[in-house]
Protein backbone atom coordinates (compact mmCIF):
# COMPACT_ATOMS: atom_id res chain seq x y z
CA UNK A 1 0.00 0.00 0.00
CA UNK A 2 1.50 3.37 -1.00
CA UNK A 3 2.80 5.50 1.86
CA UNK A 4 1.24 8.90 1.24
CA UNK A 5 1.79 10.34 4.73
CA UNK A 6 5.31 11.78 4.43
CA UNK A 7 4.26 14.88 2.53
CA UNK A 8 4.57 18.43 3.95
CA UNK A 9 1.18 19.48 2.58
CA UNK A 10 -0.54 17.26 5.17
CA UNK A 11 -0.57 17.64 8.97
CA UNK A 12 -1.34 15.35 11.88
CA UNK A 13 -5.09 15.91 11.64
CA UNK A 14 -5.02 14.82 7.99
CA UNK A 15 -3.16 11.62 8.86
CA UNK A 16 -5.86 10.84 11.41
CA UNK A 17 -8.54 11.43 8.79
CA UNK A 18 -6.70 9.18 6.32
CA UNK A 19 -6.74 6.38 8.89
CA UNK A 20 -10.47 6.96 9.37
CA UNK A 21 -11.12 6.71 5.63
CA UNK A 22 -9.11 3.50 5.36
CA UNK A 23 -11.01 2.00 8.29
CA UNK A 24 -14.33 2.92 6.69
CA UNK A 25 -13.36 1.30 3.39
CA UNK A 26 -12.07 -1.83 5.14
CA UNK A 27 -15.27 -2.14 7.18
CA UNK A 28 -18.04 -1.02 4.81
CA UNK A 29 -16.77 -1.44 1.26
CA UNK A 30 -14.17 -4.14 0.72
CA UNK A 31 -16.16 -6.96 2.43
CA UNK A 32 -19.04 -6.25 0.02
CA UNK A 33 -16.93 -6.24 -3.12
CA UNK A 34 -17.97 -9.65 -4.42
CA UNK A 35 -21.70 -9.11 -3.84
CA UNK A 36 -21.64 -5.67 -5.46
CA UNK A 37 -19.63 -6.97 -8.39
CA UNK A 38 -22.19 -9.69 -9.04
CA UNK A 39 -25.07 -7.22 -8.73
CA UNK A 40 -23.34 -4.69 -10.99
CA UNK A 41 -24.25 -1.92 -8.55
CA UNK A 42 -23.51 -1.10 -4.94
CA UNK A 43 -25.83 -0.90 -1.96
CA UNK A 44 -27.12 2.64 -1.52
CA UNK A 45 -26.84 2.29 2.26
CA UNK A 46 -23.08 2.67 1.95
CA UNK A 47 -23.59 6.43 1.62
CA UNK A 48 -25.33 6.60 4.99
CA UNK A 49 -22.42 4.70 6.48
CA UNK A 50 -19.98 7.10 4.79
CA UNK A 51 -21.81 10.11 6.21
CA UNK A 52 -21.88 8.55 9.68
CA UNK A 53 -18.13 7.94 9.46
CA UNK A 54 -17.48 11.56 8.43
CA UNK A 55 -16.21 10.55 4.99
CA UNK A 56 -19.16 12.08 3.13
CA UNK A 57 -20.37 15.67 3.42
CA UNK A 58 -17.65 16.80 5.82
CA UNK A 59 -17.54 20.25 4.17
CA UNK A 60 -21.17 20.93 5.08
CA UNK A 61 -21.46 23.41 7.98
CA UNK A 62 -22.34 21.96 11.36
CA UNK A 63 -25.73 23.69 11.43
CA UNK A 64 -26.71 21.58 8.42
CA UNK A 65 -25.40 18.31 9.83
CA UNK A 66 -21.83 18.25 8.50
CA UNK A 67 -18.44 18.75 10.13
CA UNK A 68 -17.79 22.24 8.75
CA UNK A 69 -14.38 21.29 7.33
CA UNK A 70 -13.43 23.69 4.54
CA UNK A 71 -10.08 22.15 3.63
CA UNK A 72 -9.47 20.58 0.22
CA UNK A 73 -6.84 18.27 1.73
CA UNK A 74 -9.67 16.19 3.16
CA UNK A 75 -11.17 15.85 -0.32
CA UNK A 76 -7.75 14.84 -1.62
CA UNK A 77 -7.39 12.14 1.04
CA UNK A 78 -10.75 10.59 0.15
CA UNK A 79 -9.80 10.57 -3.54
CA UNK A 80 -6.43 8.97 -2.80
CA UNK A 81 -7.77 6.31 -0.47
CA UNK A 82 -10.51 5.24 -2.87
CA UNK A 83 -7.86 4.86 -5.57
CA UNK A 84 -5.53 2.96 -3.26
CA UNK A 85 -8.31 0.56 -2.22
CA UNK A 86 -9.01 0.02 -5.92
CA UNK A 87 -11.54 -2.41 -7.33
CA UNK A 88 -15.07 -1.82 -6.12
CA UNK A 89 -14.03 1.29 -4.16
CA UNK A 90 -13.49 3.06 -7.48
CA UNK A 91 -17.23 2.83 -8.04
CA UNK A 92 -18.17 4.86 -4.98
CA UNK A 93 -19.52 8.32 -5.80
CA UNK A 94 -17.89 9.94 -2.77
CA UNK A 95 -15.66 12.28 -4.78
CA UNK A 96 -18.58 13.12 -7.07
CA UNK A 97 -20.65 14.22 -4.08
CA UNK A 98 -17.87 15.77 -1.98
CA UNK A 99 -15.98 17.56 -4.75
CA UNK A 100 -18.72 18.49 -7.20
CA UNK A 101 -22.24 18.34 -5.77
CA UNK A 102 -21.55 19.58 -2.24
CA UNK A 103 -19.84 22.79 -3.45
CA UNK A 104 -22.83 23.58 -5.68
CA UNK A 105 -25.27 23.04 -2.83
CA UNK A 106 -23.11 25.01 -0.41
CA UNK A 107 -22.53 27.98 -2.70
CA UNK A 108 -25.70 28.31 -4.74
CA UNK A 109 -28.61 27.31 -2.51
CA UNK A 110 -31.16 29.37 -0.64
CA UNK A 111 -31.87 28.60 3.02
CA UNK A 112 -34.93 26.56 2.04
CA UNK A 113 -32.88 24.57 -0.47
CA UNK A 114 -30.16 23.94 2.10
CA UNK A 115 -32.70 22.39 4.42
CA UNK A 116 -34.18 20.34 1.57
CA UNK A 117 -30.94 19.11 -0.03
CA UNK A 118 -27.84 19.95 1.98
CA UNK A 119 -29.04 18.47 5.28
CA UNK A 120 -29.91 15.06 3.76
CA UNK A 121 -26.67 15.09 1.75
CA UNK A 122 -24.70 15.45 4.98
CA UNK A 123 -26.60 12.56 6.57
CA UNK A 124 -26.40 10.32 3.52
CA UNK A 125 -30.19 10.22 3.25
CA UNK A 126 -30.01 11.74 -0.24
CA UNK A 127 -27.47 11.07 -2.94
CA UNK A 128 -26.98 13.31 -5.95
CA UNK A 129 -25.82 13.28 -9.54
CA UNK A 130 -25.06 16.00 -12.05
CA UNK A 131 -26.33 15.68 -15.61
CA UNK A 132 -24.28 17.49 -18.23
CA UNK A 133 -23.42 15.09 -21.07
CA UNK A 134 -25.91 14.34 -23.81
CA UNK A 135 -25.85 12.01 -26.82
CA UNK A 136 -24.77 14.97 -28.97
CA UNK A 137 -22.89 17.05 -26.38
CA UNK A 138 -19.97 15.78 -24.34
CA UNK A 139 -16.92 18.01 -24.13
CA UNK A 140 -18.83 20.71 -26.04
CA UNK A 141 -21.19 21.88 -23.30
CA UNK A 142 -22.40 24.66 -25.58
CA UNK A 143 -24.06 21.92 -27.63
CA UNK A 144 -26.46 20.99 -24.83
CA UNK A 145 -30.03 20.71 -26.12
CA UNK A 146 -31.96 19.79 -22.97
CA UNK A 147 -34.33 22.72 -22.48
CA UNK A 148 -36.29 24.19 -19.60
CA UNK A 149 -39.04 26.78 -19.87
CA UNK A 150 -41.09 28.51 -17.22
CA UNK A 151 -44.75 27.62 -17.03
CA UNK A 152 -46.35 29.43 -14.12
CA UNK A 153 -44.75 28.18 -10.93
CA UNK A 154 -42.94 25.32 -12.65
CA UNK A 155 -40.01 24.58 -14.90
CA UNK A 156 -40.84 22.20 -17.74
CA UNK A 157 -37.80 20.22 -18.88
CA UNK A 158 -37.37 18.27 -22.12
CA UNK A 159 -34.30 16.38 -23.26
CA UNK A 160 -31.98 13.47 -22.68
CA UNK A 161 -28.75 13.01 -20.72
CA UNK A 162 -26.24 10.17 -20.91
CA UNK A 163 -23.09 8.88 -19.14
CA UNK A 164 -24.51 10.13 -15.81
CA UNK A 165 -22.52 8.78 -12.86
CA UNK A 166 -24.72 7.81 -9.91
CA UNK A 167 -27.66 8.17 -12.29
CA UNK A 168 -29.50 5.12 -10.95
CA UNK A 169 -28.93 5.50 -7.20
CA UNK A 170 -29.27 9.28 -6.99
CA UNK A 171 -32.29 10.81 -5.27
CA UNK A 172 -31.84 14.14 -7.04
CA UNK A 173 -30.05 15.27 -10.20
CA UNK A 174 -28.62 18.69 -10.97
CA UNK A 175 -29.59 19.07 -14.63
CA UNK A 176 -27.84 21.50 -16.96
CA UNK A 177 -30.59 23.03 -19.10
CA UNK A 178 -30.83 25.61 -21.84
CA UNK A 179 -33.28 28.19 -20.50
CA UNK A 180 -32.66 30.86 -23.15
CA UNK A 181 -31.87 29.47 -26.62
CA UNK A 182 -30.80 32.88 -27.90
CA UNK A 183 -28.33 33.78 -25.14
CA UNK A 184 -25.37 31.51 -25.93
CA UNK A 185 -23.31 30.68 -22.87
CA UNK A 186 -25.56 32.95 -20.83
CA UNK A 187 -28.59 30.84 -21.67
CA UNK A 188 -27.89 27.87 -19.38
CA UNK A 189 -29.28 27.21 -15.91
CA UNK A 190 -28.98 24.48 -13.28
CA UNK A 191 -32.23 22.89 -12.15
CA UNK A 192 -32.57 20.15 -9.55
CA UNK A 193 -34.87 17.28 -10.52
CA UNK A 194 -35.85 15.07 -7.62
CA UNK A 195 -36.77 11.42 -7.78
CA UNK A 196 -40.42 10.97 -8.67
CA UNK A 197 -40.82 14.21 -10.61
CA UNK A 198 -43.49 13.74 -13.30
CA UNK A 199 -41.92 13.24 -16.72
CA UNK A 200 -38.54 12.14 -15.33
CA UNK A 201 -37.39 8.62 -16.19
CA UNK A 202 -34.13 6.77 -15.72
CA UNK A 203 -32.98 4.70 -18.64
CA UNK A 204 -30.78 1.64 -18.61
CA UNK A 205 -27.70 1.21 -16.51
CA UNK A 206 -24.99 1.48 -19.13
CA UNK A 207 -22.66 -1.48 -19.68
CA UNK A 208 -19.10 -0.17 -19.54
CA UNK A 209 -15.56 -1.43 -20.02
CA UNK A 210 -14.71 -0.84 -16.37
CA UNK A 211 -16.01 0.61 -13.11
CA UNK A 212 -18.71 -2.04 -13.21
CA UNK A 213 -20.20 -1.26 -9.80
CA UNK A 214 -20.49 2.49 -10.46
CA UNK A 215 -23.96 3.02 -11.90
CA UNK A 216 -23.85 5.12 -15.04
CA UNK A 217 -27.18 5.83 -16.66
CA UNK A 218 -29.24 7.54 -19.31
CA UNK A 219 -31.84 10.04 -18.07
CA UNK A 220 -34.95 11.21 -19.91
CA UNK A 221 -37.10 14.31 -19.42
CA UNK A 222 -40.45 14.51 -21.22
CA UNK A 223 -42.39 17.60 -20.14
CA UNK A 224 -40.82 16.99 -16.74
CA UNK A 225 -42.27 19.42 -14.20
CA UNK A 226 -40.37 20.68 -11.18
CA UNK A 227 -41.14 23.68 -8.95
CA UNK A 228 -39.62 27.03 -9.88
CA UNK A 229 -37.87 26.86 -6.51
CA UNK A 230 -35.68 24.04 -7.83
CA UNK A 231 -33.53 26.51 -9.78
CA UNK A 232 -29.99 26.23 -8.41
CA UNK A 233 -28.10 29.50 -8.38
CA UNK A 234 -28.95 32.25 -10.85
CA UNK A 235 -30.97 31.77 -14.02
CA UNK A 236 -28.72 32.16 -17.04
CA UNK A 237 -25.50 31.66 -15.06
CA UNK A 238 -25.44 27.89 -15.19
CA UNK A 239 -22.41 27.76 -17.46
CA UNK A 240 -20.47 30.07 -15.14
CA UNK A 241 -21.49 27.99 -12.12
CA UNK A 242 -20.07 24.91 -13.85
CA UNK A 243 -16.81 26.64 -14.74
CA UNK A 244 -16.30 27.80 -11.16
CA UNK A 245 -16.20 24.23 -9.89
CA UNK A 246 -14.38 22.44 -12.72
CA UNK A 247 -10.79 23.12 -11.49
CA UNK A 248 -11.29 21.26 -8.19
CA UNK A 249 -13.12 18.44 -9.99
CA UNK A 250 -10.25 18.00 -12.43
CA UNK A 251 -7.64 18.16 -9.69
CA UNK A 252 -9.51 15.45 -7.80
CA UNK A 253 -9.34 13.22 -10.89
CA UNK A 254 -5.60 13.89 -11.16
CA UNK A 255 -5.09 13.08 -7.48
CA UNK A 256 -6.94 9.79 -7.92
CA UNK A 257 -4.83 9.02 -10.98
CA UNK A 258 -1.49 9.29 -9.21
CA UNK A 259 -2.66 7.39 -6.13
CA UNK A 260 -4.10 4.63 -8.31
CA UNK A 261 -0.94 4.46 -10.41
CA UNK A 262 1.18 4.15 -7.26
CA UNK A 263 -0.98 1.28 -6.05
CA UNK A 264 -0.61 -0.64 -9.31
CA UNK A 265 3.10 0.17 -9.50
CA UNK A 266 3.89 -1.06 -5.98
CA UNK A 267 1.98 -4.28 -6.54
CA UNK A 268 3.95 -4.77 -9.75
CA UNK A 269 7.29 -4.17 -8.04
CA UNK A 270 6.46 -6.94 -5.60
CA UNK A 271 5.34 -9.20 -8.44
CA UNK A 272 8.60 -8.49 -10.31
CA UNK A 273 10.55 -9.57 -7.23
CA UNK A 274 8.54 -12.75 -6.70
CA UNK A 275 8.10 -13.93 -10.29
CA UNK A 276 10.97 -16.06 -11.55
CA UNK A 277 12.07 -16.58 -15.16
CA UNK A 278 15.30 -18.09 -16.46
CA UNK A 279 16.45 -18.65 -12.90
CA UNK A 280 16.05 -15.08 -11.64
CA UNK A 281 13.37 -12.54 -10.73
CA UNK A 282 11.89 -10.80 -13.75
CA UNK A 283 12.63 -7.43 -12.16
CA UNK A 284 16.35 -8.14 -12.28
CA UNK A 285 16.42 -8.07 -16.07
CA UNK A 286 17.75 -4.70 -17.20
CA UNK A 287 14.85 -3.89 -19.54
CA UNK A 288 12.31 -4.52 -16.79
CA UNK A 289 14.43 -2.79 -14.15
CA UNK A 290 14.70 0.31 -16.33
CA UNK A 291 10.93 0.33 -16.97
CA UNK A 292 10.27 0.20 -13.23
CA UNK A 293 12.87 2.91 -12.62
CA UNK A 294 11.24 5.21 -15.15
CA UNK A 295 7.80 4.71 -13.61
CA UNK A 296 9.12 5.34 -10.08
CA UNK A 297 10.68 8.61 -11.24
CA UNK A 298 7.64 9.83 -13.16
CA UNK A 299 5.32 9.06 -10.24
CA UNK A 300 7.53 10.96 -7.79
CA UNK A 301 7.66 14.00 -10.08
CA UNK A 302 3.89 13.93 -10.63
CA UNK A 303 3.30 13.67 -6.87
CA UNK A 304 5.31 16.84 -6.29
CA UNK A 305 3.18 18.68 -8.84
CA UNK A 306 -0.04 17.36 -7.30
CA UNK A 307 0.98 18.46 -3.81
CA UNK A 308 1.88 21.88 -5.16
CA UNK A 309 -1.58 22.08 -6.74
CA UNK A 310 -3.20 21.18 -3.42
CA UNK A 311 -1.20 23.92 -1.70
CA UNK A 312 -2.34 26.42 -4.32
CA UNK A 313 -5.97 25.46 -3.76
CA UNK A 314 -5.44 26.30 -0.09
CA UNK A 315 -3.90 29.72 -0.77
CA UNK A 316 -6.39 30.59 -3.52
CA UNK A 317 -3.96 30.74 -6.46
CA UNK A 318 -4.99 27.51 -8.20
CA UNK A 319 -6.32 28.15 -11.71
CA UNK A 320 -8.30 26.34 -14.39
CA UNK A 321 -5.11 26.06 -16.45
CA UNK A 322 -3.26 24.46 -13.51
CA UNK A 323 -6.13 21.98 -13.21
CA UNK A 324 -5.98 21.18 -16.92
CA UNK A 325 -2.24 20.47 -16.71
CA UNK A 326 -2.68 18.22 -13.70
CA UNK A 327 -5.67 16.41 -15.14
CA UNK A 328 -4.26 15.47 -18.52
CA UNK A 329 -0.75 14.66 -17.39
CA UNK A 330 -1.65 12.57 -14.35
CA UNK A 331 -4.40 10.59 -16.04
CA UNK A 332 -2.24 9.85 -19.07
CA UNK A 333 0.55 8.79 -16.70
CA UNK A 334 -1.89 6.57 -14.81
CA UNK A 335 -2.94 4.89 -18.05
CA UNK A 336 0.69 4.44 -19.10
CA UNK A 337 1.76 2.98 -15.76
CA UNK A 338 -1.08 0.47 -15.68
CA UNK A 339 -0.36 -0.61 -19.25
CA UNK A 340 3.34 -1.12 -18.52
CA UNK A 341 2.57 -2.94 -15.27
CA UNK A 342 0.21 -5.32 -17.06
CA UNK A 343 2.96 -6.03 -19.60
CA UNK A 344 5.35 -6.90 -16.78
CA UNK A 345 2.81 -9.39 -15.44
CA UNK A 346 2.86 -11.23 -18.76
CA UNK A 347 -0.04 -13.63 -19.32
CA UNK A 348 -1.14 -13.33 -15.70
CA UNK A 349 -1.80 -9.65 -16.26
CA UNK A 350 -4.57 -10.61 -18.67
CA UNK A 351 -6.35 -12.64 -15.99
CA UNK A 352 -9.05 -10.79 -14.03
CA UNK A 353 -8.03 -12.54 -10.83
CA UNK A 354 -5.01 -10.23 -10.83
CA UNK A 355 -5.71 -6.63 -9.71
CA UNK A 356 -3.70 -5.19 -12.61
CA UNK A 357 -6.24 -6.56 -15.10
CA UNK A 358 -9.08 -4.82 -13.28
CA UNK A 359 -6.99 -1.65 -13.08
CA UNK A 360 -6.49 -1.84 -16.85
CA UNK A 361 -10.26 -1.85 -17.37
CA UNK A 362 -10.99 0.88 -14.85
CA UNK A 363 -8.24 3.33 -15.85
CA UNK A 364 -9.42 3.88 -19.42
CA UNK A 365 -12.14 6.38 -18.51
CA UNK A 366 -9.76 8.67 -16.61
CA UNK A 367 -8.49 10.51 -19.71
CA UNK A 368 -12.08 11.10 -20.84
CA UNK A 369 -14.27 12.04 -17.87
CA UNK A 370 -14.08 15.54 -16.46
CA UNK A 371 -12.75 16.79 -19.79
CA UNK A 372 -10.73 14.80 -22.31
CA UNK A 373 -6.96 15.09 -22.63
CA UNK A 374 -7.48 16.97 -25.88
CA UNK A 375 -9.77 19.54 -24.25
CA UNK A 376 -7.27 20.01 -21.41
CA UNK A 377 -4.52 20.75 -23.93
CA UNK A 378 -6.85 23.15 -25.76
CA UNK A 379 -7.38 25.11 -22.53
CA UNK A 380 -3.64 25.26 -21.90
CA UNK A 381 -2.89 26.22 -25.49
CA UNK A 382 -5.39 29.09 -25.44
CA UNK A 383 -3.80 30.36 -22.25
CA UNK A 384 -0.51 30.51 -24.16
CA UNK A 385 -2.15 32.92 -26.59
CA UNK A 386 -3.07 30.60 -29.45
Report pLDDT digits (tens) over 62-95: 999 999 999 999 999 999 999 999 989 988 999 9
Which parts of the chain sit beneath pLDDT 50? none
Strand partners, 149: 156
Same-fold call for 12-126 versus 129-236: no
> Is domain 129-236 annotated with CATH 3.40.50.300?
no
Query: Of 13, 194, 249, 332, which is the active-site residue?
Result: 249
Per-residue model confidence (pLDDT) at position 1: 63
Strand-pair category, 154-165 with 216-227 = antiparallel
Q: What is the pLDDT of residues 225-264, one digit of tens each?
A: 999 999 999 999 999 999 988 899 999 999 999 999 999 9
CB 75 within 8 A of CB 248: yes
Architecture of domain 240-383: Up-down Bundle (1.20)
Per-residue model confidence (pLDDT) at position 148: 97
Q: How far is CA 380 from the centre of its chain?
A: 21
CATH of 12-126, one of 3.40.50.460, 3.40.309.10, 3.60.15.10, 1.10.540.10: 1.10.540.10
Phi, then psi, of 150 in degrees rounded to 5: -75, 135
Per-residue model confidence (pLDDT) at position 139: 77
Verify whether residue 249 is a known catalytic residue: yes
In the chain, where the domains are located? 12-126, 129-236, 240-383
Per-residue model confidence (pLDDT) at position 358: 95
* Model confidence, pTM: 0.95
Per-residue model confidence (pLDDT) at position 138: 77
CB 198 within 8 A of CB 207: no
What is residue 62's DSSP assignment?
G
Amino acid sequence: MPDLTNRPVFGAEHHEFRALVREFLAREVLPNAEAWEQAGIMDKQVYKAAASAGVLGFSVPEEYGGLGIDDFRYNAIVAEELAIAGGVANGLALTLINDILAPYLLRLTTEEQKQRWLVPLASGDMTFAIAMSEPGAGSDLAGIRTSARRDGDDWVINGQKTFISNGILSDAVVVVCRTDPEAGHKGFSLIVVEDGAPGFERGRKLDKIGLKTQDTAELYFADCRVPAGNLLGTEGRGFMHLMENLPSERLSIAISGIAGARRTFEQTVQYAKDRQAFGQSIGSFQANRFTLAEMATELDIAQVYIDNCISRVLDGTFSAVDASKAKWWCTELHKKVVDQCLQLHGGYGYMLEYPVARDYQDVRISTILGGTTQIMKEIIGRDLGF
